[in-house]
Each structure stands twice: as structure tokens, then as C-alpha cells.
């Protein structure tokens, strides 16, 4: 019983921190969106944005249900996904700091502006999406929520690969020198870690 109470306490703390983090990110995104619009920029992909938001909301609900209601049990190897989750948080901060006012949860573009190629963007086209995929996989694994890890990782990857990233790269190629700056960078892995072109 004591172990269960302790687990619920740790999960509640992690869940609260995640909610606060998401709220802070939305506030940052709104501020950055105002800045981009002042530069003559605009948003694209509005139709698919609610789909992404829905996946993340259902992820939170599904994770909470699997842990608190269906009593998922952390595996003995939980430190491994927890370490990856923490590493993803570091990468997220690096992405936000590197992109500055260009970072957003929406696809915001500023025609004529050059793509950011500092920080993790020196090596990857989409390090921020690496963060999101890693989070949706590893946080549930920490608490033994294997169904949430599988379902929402697959859903999120499908939306990213089939909808979000193609829309983002298409518009960036049209209105910025995106292809020129990014063609030698892999989407999710550095080129030197790959044997085939991305």
C-alpha cells in the first residue's frame, strides 16, 4: 500500500509538471506568433493543428487512466526511459533557445527570413519533433503505461510524417531558402548516423 501511495504521488507530481510545462509553451508560442506576424509572417496548417492538440490531450487522459485507474506498474528498468525523458527536456530547451522567436507549437513562417541553423538545427531539421516523440514514448514507459506509449507514439508519428512535416517543409521551401540551408541535414538523425539519404 505504501508503495502504491508513493507511486501515485510521483505520478501526480510528474503529471502536474507536464501540464505546467505545456501551459508555459503555449504562452511562449502565442508571444512568438505575435512577433512573427509583425514581421509579415503568417500561420499555415491550421486544419491539422487541432488534430495534434487532440492527440496530446488524449495522451494526458490515457496516461492518467492507465496509471491511476488501471494501476500500471513501473518496470524494473524505468530509469532508462526516465533518463531519455530528461534528455529530451534538455533538447527542448536547446531548441527553444536556438530558434528564439521562431519557435512555435504552430507552423508560423516569415517569408524571406533565413532558417535557423544554430544549436541542434546545425545537425537536424526537426529536433523539436524528436523531443515530442521521445516524450510520448518514454514518460508512459517510466510508469509502466505500455498501451499509452504504443498508441500515442504511433499516432503522433503518423501525424508528423504524413501531415505536419510535409506541410511545414513545403511552405518553408516556398517562402524561405529552406532547401538550400537544410538539404544536408537529416530530419530526425544527423546525416553521419545514417547510411541512406533522408
Domain spans in the chain, listed from the N-terminal domain onward:
2-193
What mean pLDDT comes out for the span 55-65?
96
Q: What pLDDT score does 193 carry?
A: 61
- Please give the Cα distance from 115 to 195 (Å, whole number): 25
pLDDT of amino acid 5: 41
Chain centroid offset of residue 163 CA: 15
Which candidate, 11, 53, 55, 83, places its Cα nearest to that of 153? 55
Say what percent of the chain tops pLDDT 70: 93
Give pLDDT tens digits for 85-101.
Answer: 999 999 999 999 999 99
The CA-based dihedral angle spanning residues 172, 174, 180, 181, taken in that order and rounded to the nearest 10 degrees: -20
**198 or 78: whose pLDDT is higher?**
78
In the predicted model, what is the mean pLDDT of residues 89-118? Answer: 95
| pLDDT value of residue 33 | 97
Nearest to 28 by CA among 91, 101, 116, 94: 101
Question: To the nearest whole number, what is the mean pLDDT of the chain?
Answer: 91
- What's residue 194's pLDDT? 53
Q: How many Cα atoms occupy the beta-carbon half-sphere of 99 within 13 Å?
A: 27
CA distance to 1, 12, 13, 78, per residue, from 143 (Å): 17, 11, 12, 7
Q: Looking at residues 141-170, what average pLDDT do you find?
A: 96
Q: pLDDT value at position 189?
A: 86
User: Do the beta carbons of residue 167 and residue 107 sit within 8 Å?
Assistant: yes
For residue 63, give the nearest of 130, 135, 164, 5 by alpha carbon: 135
The CATH-assigned architecture of domain 2-193 is Up-down Bundle (1.20)
Amino acid at each position: 500500500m505504501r508503495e502504491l501511495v508513493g507511486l501515485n504521488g510521483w505520478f501526480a507530481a510528474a503529471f502536474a509538471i507536464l501540464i505546467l510545462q505545456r501551459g508555459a509553451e503555449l504562452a511562449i508560442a502565442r508571444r512568438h506568433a505575435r512577433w512573427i506576424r509583425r514581421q509579415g509572417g503568417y500561420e499555415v496548417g491550421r486544419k491539422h493543428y487541432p488534430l495534434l492538440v487532440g492527440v496530446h490531450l488524449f495522451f494526458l487522459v490515457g496516461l492518467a487512466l492507465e496509471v491511476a485507474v488501471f494501476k500500471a506498474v513501473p518496470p524494473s528498468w524505468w530509469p532508462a526511459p526516465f533518463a531519455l525523458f530528461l534528455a529530451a527536456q534538455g533538447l527542448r530547451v536547446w531548441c527553444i533557445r536556438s530558434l528564439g522567436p521562431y519557435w512555435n507549437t504552430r507552423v508560423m513562417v516569415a517569408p524571406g527570413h533565413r532558417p535557423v541553423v544554430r544549436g541542434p538545427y546545425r545537425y537536424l531539421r526537426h529536433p523539436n519533433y524528436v523531443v515530442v516523440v521521445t516524450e510520448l514514448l518514454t514518460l508512459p514507459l517510466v510508469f509502466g503505461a505500455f498501451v499509452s506509449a504504443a498508441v500515442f507514439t504511433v499516432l503522433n508519428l503518423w501525424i508528423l510524417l504524413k501531415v505536419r512535416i510535409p506541410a511545414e517543409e513545403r511552405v518553408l521551401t516556398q517562402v524561405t531558402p529552406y532547401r538550400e540551408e537544410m538539404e544536408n541535414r537529416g530530419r530526425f538523425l544527423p546525416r553521419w548516423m545514417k547510411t541512406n539519404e533522408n
